[in-house]
Structures are given as C-alpha cells and as structure tokens.
Structure 1
Amino acid sequence: MNTSLGTTLFQRWTKLSMRQTLMLGAGLGIFLPALLLTYFQTTSRLETEVNQRVRVPMQLYSDVLSRGLAIAIWTVDKDVTTGLTDAVMRNPDVVSVTVRDEFQKVLVHKKSGLALQSTPLIERRSIVHEGLVIGYLELELTTARIQADIFRDIAKQALALVAQLAISFALIWLLFDWRMMRPLRALQADASRLARGELTQPLQWRHADELGTLAQGLDHMRTELSSLIAERDQKNDALTQELLVRRRTEAALSVSQAKFLAIFDGSPVAISVSQMGGAFTILDVNGAWERLFGRSREAILGTSGAHNGMWVSQEVRQEVLRTLEQKGVISRHQAWMQPGDGRPSILCEISGQVLAMAEQPMLILAYEDVTDNHQQALNILGLNATLERRVGERTQELSEALAQLTTAQSELVRKEKMSALGSLVAGVAHELNTPVGNSLTVASTLQEHVKAFTSDVEKGITRSRLNAFLTTVGEGSDILMHSLHRAAELVASFKQVAVDQASVNRRVFQLDAAVAEILLTLGPSIRKSQHAVHSVVPAGITMDSYPGPLAQILTNLIGNALLHAFDGRENGVVTLNVRRLNDAQVELTVCDNGSGIPDANLARVFDPFFTTKFGQGGSGLGLNIVYNLVTGMMGGELKVDSPPGQGACFTIRLPLVAPAAAPEVPLPTLLGSTLGR
C-alpha cells in the first residue's frame, strides 16, 4: 500500500508544471524546512526555557532555601522558614515546597492550587548547618506554563508562515533568503551565543515579523536571565557577607562566653546561677562557691534550696526570694547557711539580681562569709557593755592627773613670780644703794661738822669759821637733797613697775617711758650677765593697753636671750627696737646676735614646758607666757626668725589700743590661766 501511494505521488509530481514544481518545491522547500526548523527551534527553546525558567530557578531556589533554612531550622525560627517558602511560592512555576527536619517530620509544606498538566520536576536537598544535616528540602516545579507558551508561539509562527506563503509566494525566491534564511542564521548565532552564556551583547533584528518577535523574545529572555543571574550573584554576595558577619559574631560570642566563664569560675566571690521562678533550680556555681559551702558542683546542680539543706531557715529563704521577685535586686541580706562538709553554720551576706534573658530570666546570687565579722560585732557589744565603767575609771584617773598638773603649774607660776620678785628686789636694792649711801655719808659728815661747830661756839667762833661752817652745811644739804630726790624717783619707778607687774590694769601710757622703766628694773641682771641691752624707742608713741603684761613680755624675752643666746660667749648684744607701723599698730623686735635657735626647735619654742635649760634656770614657760599674753590680752601677733648663725629675732605687732577691756586681776592669776590653755 505504501509503495502504490509513493508511486501515485511520484506520478502526480512528474505531471506538475515547472512553475508548479518550482512553486511546490519552493513551497515545500520553504514550508518543510520552516516546519522542521520550527520543530527543532521549539524543542530547543522548550529545553532552554525549561532549563532557564525551571531548572535554573529550581537550583537557585534550592541553594537559597537550603542556606536560609539552615539558620532558621537551627534557631527554630518558624517565621523565617515560612517567609522563605512563601517567597518561593510566588513563582507560578512552583508547585510545592516541603521542609522536613532530620527525622523526616514535615515542618513546612506549601502547595499551589493549580492542576498539574505536565510531568513535574523535583529537586531534593539536604539542609546542612556547620557540617550537620538538620533537615531536608523538596522543591517541585512544573513546565506546563512554558509548554503552553511554546505551543502558542508555534501556532503564531504557523499562521504567519501560511499567511506568508499565501500572500507573497511569488516573491518567495527573493524573500526566502532575505526574510527567512538571514534572520534565521542571525537567530541561530544569537541562540548559540546565549547558549554559551554570553548575555552582554543584545540581539539585533531588522523587521518586526515573527522572526523579529522571536528575536525580541530571545533578547527579553537574555535580559531577564542577565537580571536573574545578577540578582542571584547579588544575593549570593549578600548571603556570603551575612554568613561572614554571622561567623564573626558567633566567634566573638564564643570568645565572650569563654571570658565570662573564666571570670565566673575564677571570681573570688561565691556565685550561683539559678532559674528565676518555680523551684529556683540551681544551674551553675563557681569554684569559690564550692570552697565556701564544701559542696561539689555535680552534687548541687539541678537541686533547689528548698531541699538541698543549704538554708538553715526556709523563712529567710522565702523572704529573700520575695524581695527578688518584687524588686529584682537584693543587697547584703544576712542569712545563716549550712556547709555540706560538716562545718558549723556560717553567716553569709547575700546580694543578687534578676537578669532578663531571651528564654528565661536568671537569678544570680553572691555570697560573702561574714561569720567572723558577726563574732567580732558580738565581742564589741560585750566590750561596750563594760565601756561606761572603764570610762568612769579612766575619767577618775585623768581628773587626778589634771589636778596634779594644775598643782604643778601653780607651783611653777609661783616660782616664776618669786624669781621675778627676787630680781626686782635685787634691782631695787642695787639702784638705791648709791643715793642712799651718798646721803648717809653726807649726813654723817654734817653730823661731825655740827659737833665741831658746837665746840667752837662754846669757845667762841670767828666770822670766818661761821662762814665756813655755813658753806659746808649748804653743800652737804645740796648733796643730801639730790641723793634723796634720786632715791625717791627710783622708789616711784620701782613702785610703778611693781604695780604693773602685779596686776593687769589697763591705762594710757607712753611706750618709751614704760620701756625705760622696765629696762631700769632689769639693769642689775643685765650687768651681772656681762652682756648689753640696747633699745631704740621713739618718743610720742601713746598706748591704751596693759603695761603689766607688756613688762612681763619684754622681761621674759630679754631674760630668755640672756639665758640661752650666748652660751660660751661674752659681750653679747640684745637689741630692742620699736617702730610705729601706722595709726593703729606698733612693732617691737627683740633680737640678739647669739647662736640662734636650731631648726628642729624653732617650731616648739612657744610650747609649754619646752626648754633646753631645764634644771639650769629654765622652766619652759617663759615664751609660752609671752605667746599667750601677746595673742590673747594684748591682741597682737608674735613670730620668731632665726637664720643660721645670725641669732634669734622675736617680732611683736601690737595694737595701740587694746581690743577689749579686761577686769583688774593679779598677773600671776592671769599667767596661771594662760598656762591651763
């Protein structure tokens, strides 16, 4: 039958005219190759479309999902898992996405509602995290939409080919090469270039016919592929960067955790970590905790303070836990705890805080053993119980010592007073000796002249003898009156000085006269010391102050210089200079050219009972009395300078008018009060 059919067709072919044969041949030559080309092109395109639109995205989706789902499954983040699968399901070629864990349990299953019209393509992947398989991915895509697109394109091409044969069959020879073969060759070259992955150069077409549409579709496919590949590369880069950042974060977290564990375990403070809530189960303790409570970490982990016997009083434990639940923090709460190695109970100060963690809040407690401190506090309370008795006894002892010191001070002041009185009496006796002796000599001489004149009167006297007697009596009377006047002046001066030194009467006086009287009383002591005292006191300086304390001040300073400044030296000089600073102040300086005061003693010269001549005439009170009188009653300032090898110099600055009136009291009483300061 096939042979007869072929024979029939051959016979008909041989009967056709040349035009018909040419046209038929041209038509067959155009139609059949076009048909075959369309078939192969469609097959190639179908394969390309399937690869590019199904297999390549399927591989891309599988890569992206397997990497993204690895982190999500590892962190048990179902929201991220669902988000990733939903993003993939937006592709209409995706039929279903199934995610299973390592036990083949379905975690996520997404399926489109479209009916399958072709054999689906299935991709299965293992989900791996840090070398471990933690799940499985099954991705199912269909080629039905691509096949429908291809079939529509084939129909369009077929219709275009039939229309072309019907309309322009006469120009088939010219148009065949110009409109068919050349575009096909260009498309073939472009398709080959696209097949090789060269997507940068765009496709070129001259006419907007079927081949132009095909070329435009291929170029659009090229653009889409280029965008998809670029997007894939960008996502891959982003995923790579994210993975690097995540790895760095995990590494930093691992280092931080290692440091925390090292600090936690190496801390000298006993620390425990427990769950917040429920039974408050102990999760971890450090080495200091084990040493403090004598319990091993393995034995205590997983236990609760309600049952492990650590707390001596469960009421105290409940109080601590209530405070933590209400305030979230506790500080230095004392509780008795029971060690586990047979030791007696210990008193601990407990401090802690509740930390908000991602999964569950944690309770951190620190324990400090204060048993010894507690015992010391008890001992202190015991000592305080007898403190009042001991204070009373000590007060009695101090009172007795103070009374003895007061007696000693009074005795020293009395001795100072007697010493000053003795010096004053000696000075008075010495100064009065000359005028009184002169008066006695003149009186005895006059007595003898009177006796001789009486004898002459009985015998009879001449006028010349009378004149001689009268001359002698007149001269003797003049000498006697001068000596007695001198004695009276001395007695008046000594009386004024004695009155000033015996009391603190405030009065107005001339400073130069007061200084002269003071130096006059010191004259015998000065001459006896074989040293000299020079004074420069301007006249006209009037003071409303206390001459008695001033005399005591100058007497002590000059006496101190004569006693201490010139050891082993003769002809020393003490200089008293006075100058008026302004309308309200006067300055007195008492300087010597002696050996000076050592630096070690300079800061102590005004201290009571400090002397370098103790037992040799020094009581240690002279300069202390001076300091108290100057800065107290006189309202002035006192300082001392002693450059090495240049002697000592005491500078006193006093107000011309004393700051306040004082009651008239004996000077020894005042000195006794200053010593008690």
Structure 2
Amino acid sequence: MKPPASPARAPVTAGFEGTELNLLFVRLLRTTVAVALLYSVVSMVFIGEWVMVLGPVLIAAAGTVCLGLHARGHHARAMSLFIWALWAVVVLQSTLRGGALNPILNVNVVLVLLAGWLVGMRQAVWVGLASAAWYVALALSTQFGWWTPTNITSHWSLLIAQLGVLGGAFMAFRLVLKAYQQHVDKVQTLNRTLEEKLQALSDQDDALRMSERRVMQILKASPLPIIVAEFETGVGLEINPAWEQAFQRLRADVIGKTPVQLGFWRDQAHREQFKQEFGTQRRVSGYEVTFTLPDGAERTFLLSSERFMYGELDCVMTISMDVTERKLLEQQLKDLNATLEQRVLDRTSALDEANSNLLETMRTLQRAQDELIGVEKLASLGSLVAGVAHELNTPLGNALITASALHEMTERASEQALAGTLKRSAFLEFMQNMNDGAALTHKSLERAVELIRSFKQVAVDQESERRRSFDLHQTVHEVVETLKPSFKHQQAQIELVVPADMVLESFPGPLGQVVINLVSNALVHGLAGRNDGVVELRAEEAADGKSVVLTVSDNGRGIAPEHLGQVFDPFFTTKLGQGGSGLGLAVSHRIVSRILGGRIKVSSVPGQGAEFELTIPKVAPQVVN
C-alpha cells in the first residue's frame, strides 16, 4: 500500500536543514546498510537459506539509494523512501516465512516511531495503518488458507531475526532519544536565550520609560514652545508650558484637537501646505507662518519640525519661535534702507562742502603762515638793518670828522702858502696830519664796507632762498658778524667752532635765518641780564659722512621741562608782550625740515643752558615734503 504523498513535509524539510539531524540521518542510513550486509553474511554462513538474505539485501540497496538522494539535497524524499523500503522488507519477509508469527513484524513499531520523528505525523499514521492492515491480511490468509507461508524451523534463524529486530529497535530508539535530548537541550537553550531577551527587553522598557521621563522633563523645561502632534491629522498629543504661554492655550484645551479646530491654521488646506514642505525629508526648518491668538493678536512664528515614529504612530514635533518683534525691526530696517541712499547723498554733499571749507581754511592758514614767516624774515632783516646802521655810525662818523679836520687844515695851509708865510716845519706837520687823517679815513671806510658787504650777502640769501654751493664757515661767520651790532649792549660772547672748507650744496639764506633765530633766542631768552653769557656755534661732520651736525648752545637759564614739547609750536613764547612773537623757532623748524631736508631737536637742563642740534644733508634734496 502506497499512501498519498503527505503534504506535511515542511517540518521534515525544516528538520533536515539542521546539522545534527543531517548527521543522525546519515549515520542511521550507514548503520542500517552495514547491519543489513552483516546480517546477510551471517545468514549465509550459519543458515545457508537464500530467503534470509533477500530482505537484508533489499534494505542495503534501499539505504544506498537514500544516501544518494540525501547527497543531492532531497532529504524528505530520501527519508520517506527509507521508511517505506523497510516496511516493504518487513512485508516481504513475513510473507515468505512465518507469517504473522515472524518476529520481524515488530519492526513496524520502530518504523512508526521513525516516521513520526523524521517525516511527520501523517506519515507515521500511514505506516501504522498499513502495518495494521497487513497484520489483518496475514491473519485472514492463514485462517482461510489463502496463503500458507513457510514455517520457521531453524532456531538459529529465529534467534538471528530476534537479535536483528532488537538491535534495529535499540539503534532506532537510541537515535530518537539522542535527537530528543538534543531537542530538549535546544529548547532549554532557547528558553535561556528567551529569558535573556525578555530581561533585555524589560531593561530596554525601563530605559525607555526613563528616557521618556527625561524627555518630558526637558520638554517642560524648554524655554521654546514645543508641541507633539500626529503628522497626518495634526491632533495634539503633548505641549510644554512655554507653548501654553506663547499660544495662550491650556494643555487640556489642546490635547486631542487639531490646530484647525483651535483656530491657528485658517483651514486644512493651509496646514496641507505646511505638510508638503516636508517633501522627501522628514524635517522642516524656518517655516514662517502668522497665527491669530485667542486675544485677537497676530503673531509671526518660525516653525522647525521633525517627523518621528512613536511606536506605530507617525508624529511630528514642532518648535516655534516668535519673531514678531524681529519682523517689525526688519521692516523698519527696510524703510531705513529705502531712505538711506538719499541720506547718504545729503551727508556726502555736506561733507564735500565741509571739506571745501576746510581746504579753503587750510589755504588761508598756509597763506597766513607764509605771511608770518615773511614778517619774521623782515623783522630779522629790520633788526639787522638797525644793528648795522648803528654799527656804521662809528666808522662813518670817524671818517667824516677826519675829512672835516683835513679840509680845515688844507684851507689854512693854502692861505699860508698864498701869503708866503708857510714854513717848512708847518708844511711837514701838515703833510703828517694829512697822512694820518687819510689812514684813519681809509680804515673807517673799510670797516663800513665790510659791514655793508656782510649785511648785503645775508640779506640777499635770505630774500632769494637760492640753492648754491657755499662754505659753511664763511656763511655762519657773516651771519654772526651782522648779529653782533644788534647785541652790542649785552656782555655775551659768540664763539664760532666751524671747520674751514666745509662746503654744502644747499640753501645758505634759510640756513642763515635759522642761525639768526637760534642765536637771537639764546641771547634774548637764555642770557638776558647776564654778563658772562656764551653762545657757541659748533659744526662737525655726521657719522654717515653725508650730513653735517650744527649745534647752537648757551650757558643760560635753560628751558623748563614742561615747555620742551612746545618750543617749536607757532606763537609759543615766554616773552609775550615783551617783544617775543613765538614764531622764531617754529619758522626754524619749518626751514630745517621742509627746505634744508634735515631735522632739529632741542635738549635742556634748567640752570645749565639749552642746546639746539641741526642735522642737515650736505646736498639738500630737490623736493622736501
């Protein structure tokens, strides 16, 4: 009897996928084939009946075929074929010998057990029903004489058959028990794994609850309004106190309601626009929207939302930022920018006008400064003229007196000569007087000419500011000579320590003006009221060999420390109202830096005098800034 193919193969196939069951099945097949072959050999040696060999040979052949099917992956088919092959051998052996009394029929019990274990309960039922049907068929055929099997007369045959059945049953039960033990071990392992997973799930659940509590604490503590709602419907699930305060709604009035019902969105279509902003992304950042609050005020918010799954619920968390005041400021800024261009043009025009006025003022100041410098030069020249004029009085007066005396003596000598009364001694005296008078007149006139020449050279240099080569010693000497008459009443000495043949390619006039100003400053401010004053002018070559260092120093009262930083400022003077203009040193500084291309500095120790140091190049620059 061949039962229909059992549809319950899934457990068998699934069972054969396991490594342990595969190994057990292969061992069962190999053991069965080996035992069958051994049984065949023993039967032929001890009994010598071919009938005893037919069943084991069929079992060995069926086992070999099942091994081939198993190797190709047909596990269920191989096991099913193996069970039914064994059942067929039992039927064949019981038909040929012994009938219902053949001990091999006990193998059917083992086959039912193996079928249930390996190929499913339905196969086991079919094997059991087939075995029962065969028992009935044997009994009926014996009872009615339809078939008379050969009786088993050899005790060795019976013994071998019994041992074969017992051995096969033992091996089968051993394999089943081993498989059952493995199954129990797996179940226990699965139970332990399940317990560990349950504990892990419990820990995760506790951690999740703790995390939810922390999230709720953070949510409530957040200063920004936050709401959690269903994404599709917008039904509120949770809000924080900041949201209640910002949107003027209590939590009980929000939970379970949509924003359209609460009046925030104008309609559902308005909210759908917000949902479309998510697109393929699961977030929206900086979505601007204007809501009408319960008090009627309209407030502008920036919404930043994030979609997330809470269990199986698609949710969205939205953080709102009130930017109403910022929008007002932005609008004010736009309005300001709209008028900014005109304001900038107006301001630029005013600045241009102010700059023009400033430039005109600067030009006026420059003209005034130039005029003051000219006045200072004229004042210096006037002082020199007065001094030279006073100095010229002496030689010219002497020459005039001598000439008058000579004129009178000549008239008397002429009268005596005409009268014939001129004596030789008187004539010799007249000639001597004429010689002395001529010498005195010549000397006086030479002195006058020298003064006029020095004054003329200084005056021409100062007036023209002409660049030329000049000897520094000669120029300074001429300036000093023109200064001496002006300060003849002071008992001060002017010492000149300037090497000869120190030639400069520069501006002698401006340099002489500086020397006049510095010497005059020393005599007027430093040595006034002193009879032992000394002004020293010293020149030497600088270390670079390209410049000359000219110092003008005195041993007077010096300059107060608080005035050292102001001495070159225009109109600064300590003799205000006493003839001091405050321009001498300022003019000197301008001449040294802008015309001569050098620099000037001052040092002083109160009570020990002052020193002005000029460093000027031997060759003055063509243009000086």
TM-score range for the pair, normalised by the shorter chain length: 0.5 to 0.7
Tell me how far 1:602 sits from its aligned partner: 5.4
Q: Residue in 1 aligned with 2:622?
A: 660
**CA–CA distance in structure 1, aligned partners of residues 217 and 352 of structure 2:** 63
**CA–CA distance in structure 2, aligned partners of residues 542 and 556 of structure 1:** 22
Give the letter aligned to residue 445 of structure 1: T
Q: Residue in 2 aligned with 1:588?
A: 550
Say whether residues 1:428 and 2:385 are aligned partners: yes
Q: Deviations over 1:400-429 (max 9, x none)?
A: 676567556645643453344233223333
Q: Which has the larger radius of gyration?
A: 2
Q: Residue in 1 aligned with 2:598?
A: 636
Give the letter aligned to residue 438 of structure 1: P
Match of 1:511 among 454, 460, 472: 472
Match of 1:308 among 264, 280, 286: 264
Q: Cα distance 1:559–1:507, how it changes in 2: closer, same or farther (>3 A)? A: same
Q: Residue in 1 aligned with 2:121?
A: none
Any idea what SS the aligned residue of 2:406 has?
helix
Instruction: Tell whether the 8 Å contact from 1:273 to 1:364 is kept in structure 2 after alignment.
Output: yes
1:56-455 superposed matches below 5 A? 251=210, 255=214, 258-259=217-218, 262=221, 264-265=222-223, 295-296=248-249, 302-303=258-259, 308=264, 341=295, 364=319, 366=321, 367=323, 369-370=325-326, 371=328, 374-375=331-332, 378=335, 385=342, 407=364, 410-411=367-368, 413-455=370-412
**CA–CA distance in structure 2, aligned partners of residues 336 and 570 of structure 1:** 96
Tell me how far 1:546 sits from its aligned partner: 1.9
Match of 2:423 among 459, 462, 478: 462
Q: Cα distance 1:573–1:447, how it changes in 2: closer, same or farther (>3 A)? A: closer
Instruction: Tell whether the 8 Å contact from 2:284 to 2:306 is kept in structure 1 after alignment.
Output: no
Give the letter aligned to residue 537 of structure 1: V
**CA–CA distance in structure 1, aligned partners of residues 330 and 526 of structure 2:** 59
**CA–CA distance in structure 1, aligned partners of residues 584 and 286 of structure 2:** 61
Tell me how far 1:577 sits from its aligned partner: 3.7
Any idea what SS the aligned residue of 1:583 has?
coil
Any idea what SS the aligned residue of 2:595 has?
coil
**CA–CA distance in structure 1, aligned partners of residues 262 and 440 of structure 2:** 121
**CA–CA distance in structure 1, aligned partners of residues 523 and 364 of structure 2:** 29
Give the letter aligned to residue 586 of structure 1: V
**CA–CA distance in structure 1, aligned partners of residues 612 and 527 of structure 2:** 16
Instruction: Tell whether the 8 Å contact from 1:502 to 1:548 is kept in structure 2 after alignment.
Output: yes
Tell me how far 1:250 sits from its aligned partner: 6.9
Any idea what SS the aligned residue of 2:461 has?
helix
Q: Cα distance 1:288–1:570, how it changes in 2: closer, same or farther (>3 A)? A: farther
Instruction: Tell whether the 8 Å contact from 1:526 to 1:533 is kept in structure 2 after alignment.
Output: no
1:415-564 superposed matches below 5 A? 415-459=372-416, 460-523=421-484, 534-559=495-520
Q: Cα distance 1:245–1:408, how it changes in 2: closer, same or farther (>3 A)? A: same
Q: Residue in 2 aligned with 1:113?
A: none
Q: Deviations over 1:332-353 (max 9, x none)?
A: 99x988776566x78x7x7676
Q: Residue in 1 aligned with 2:48?
A: none
Quick check: which one's helix share is greater?
A: 2
Q: Cα distance 1:637–1:322, how it changes in 2: closer, same or farther (>3 A)? A: farther
Tell me how far 1:294 sits from its aligned partner: 7.6
Give the letter aligned to residue 514 of structure 1: T
Any idea what SS the aligned residue of 2:259 has?
coil
Q: Cα distance 1:353–1:308, how it changes in 2: closer, same or farther (>3 A)? A: closer
Instruction: Tell whether the 8 Å contact from 2:307 to 2:317 is kept in structure 1 after alignment.
Output: yes
The two structures have a TM-score, normalised by structure 2, of: 0.53
Give the letter aligned to residue 421 of structure 1: L
Tell me how far 1:378 sits from its aligned partner: 4.3
Q: Cα distance 1:482–1:406, how it changes in 2: closer, same or farther (>3 A)? A: same
Structure 1 segments unaligned to the other structure (5+ residues): 1-85, 94-143, 150-162, 168-209, 663-673
**CA–CA distance in structure 2, aligned partners of residues 536 and 498 of structure 1:** 23
Q: Cα distance 1:332–1:382, how it changes in 2: closer, same or farther (>3 A)? A: farther
Instruction: Tell whether the 8 Å contact from 2:392 to 2:451 is kept in structure 1 after alignment.
Output: no
Q: Cα distance 1:256–1:365, how it changes in 2: closer, same or farther (>3 A)? A: closer
Instruction: Tell whether the 8 Å contact from 1:427 to 1:523 is kept in structure 2 after alignment.
Output: no
Give the letter aligned to residue 456 of structure 1: A
**CA–CA distance in structure 1, aligned partners of residues 227 and 448 of structure 2:** 105
Q: Cα distance 1:501–1:393, how it changes in 2: closer, same or farther (>3 A)? A: same
Q: Cα distance 1:318–1:217, how it changes in 2: closer, same or farther (>3 A)? A: closer
**CA–CA distance in structure 2, aligned partners of residues 503 and 467 of structure 1:** 53
Tell me how far 1:627 sits from its aligned partner: 4.0
| Identity, % of aligned positions | 27
Instruction: Tell whether the 8 Å contact from 1:565 to 1:595 is kept in structure 2 after alignment.
Output: yes
Q: Deviations over 1:530-585 (max 9, x none)?
A: 76665533333222122233234444445555666679988666554432122322
Give the letter aligned to residue 507 of structure 1: R
Tell me how far 1:494 sits from its aligned partner: 1.7
Instruction: Tell whether the 8 Å contact from 1:330 to 1:353 is kept in structure 2 after alignment.
Output: yes
Instruction: Tell whether the 8 Å contact from 2:220 to 2:242 is kept in structure 1 after alignment.
Output: no
Give the letter aligned to residue 479 of structure 1: L
Q: Deviations over 1:359-400 (max 9, x none)?
A: 567665542624356447646866875776677678667766
Any idea what SS the aligned residue of 2:550 has?
strand
Deviates more, 1:231-240 or 1:615-624: 231-240
Deviates more, 1:437-446 or 1:227-236: 227-236
